Amino acid sequence: METYTPGYSEVAAAFMARRRLDPNGAFFLPHLKLGISVLDCGCGPGTITRDIARQVFPGTVTGLDFSVDQVALATREAKARGIANAEFRQGSVYELPFPDNSFDAVFSHALLEHLKEPVRAAIEFKRVLKPRGMLGVCTPDWGGFLLAPPSEKLLLAFEAYKQLQNRNGGDVYCGHKLGLYVEQAGFENIAMRSRYENYDPLTVIGDFLAMNHDEIGDAKNAATWREWGRSPKGMFSQAWVACTASKPR
Q: Do the Cβ atoms of 140 and 238 come closer than 8 Å?
A: yes
Contact code string over 169-208 relative to ligand SAM, x by CB under 6 A? ----------------------------------------
Residue 27 vs residues 52, 146, 165, 179, 195: alpha-carbon distances, Å:
12, 22, 26, 15, 10
Distance between CA atoms of residues 52 and 50, nearest Å: 5
- Among 109, 177, 213, 247, the residue binding ligand SAM under the rule CB under 6 A is 109
- 38 forms part of the interface with ligand SAM (CB under 6 A): no
- Options 60, 62, 70, 246; binder of ligand SAM; rule CB under 6 A: 70
Determine if 50 is a binding residue for ligand SAM (CB under 6 A). Answer: no
Name the one range near ligand SAM by CB under 6 A: 50-58, 86-94, 158-166, 228-236.
86-94
Asked if 90 touches ligand SAM (CB under 6 A), the answer is: no
| Residue among 24, 150, 135, 13 nearest 70 (CA) | 13
For residue 205, the Cα-to-chain-centroid distance in whole angstroms is 15
Shortest Å distance, C-beta 123 to ligand SAM: 13
DSSP at 42: T
CB proximity list for 26: less than 8 A, separation 6 or greater: none
Residues facing residue 198 across a β-bridge: 237
Out of 21, 111, 185, 202, the only residue in the binding site for ligand SAM (CB under 6 A) is 111
Q: Could you tell me how far CA 197 lies from the centroid of its own chain?
A: 14
Q: Is 4 in the site for ligand SAM (CB under 6 A)?
A: yes
For ligand SAM, the closer CB: 4 or 98: 4
Residues in the chain: 249
Number of residues that bind ligand SAM (CB under 6 A): 19
C-beta nearest to ligand SAM: residue: 44
* Window 7 to 36, contacts with ligand SAM (CB under 6 A): 16, 19
Among 43, 83, 164, 243, binds ligand SAM (CB under 6 A): 43
Beta bridge partners, 63, equal: 40, 88
Q: Cβ(114)–Cβ(212) under 8 Å?
A: no
Enumerate binding residues for ligand SAM (CB under 6 A): 4, 6, 16, 19, 42-44, 48, 65-67, 70, 92-94, 109-111, 114
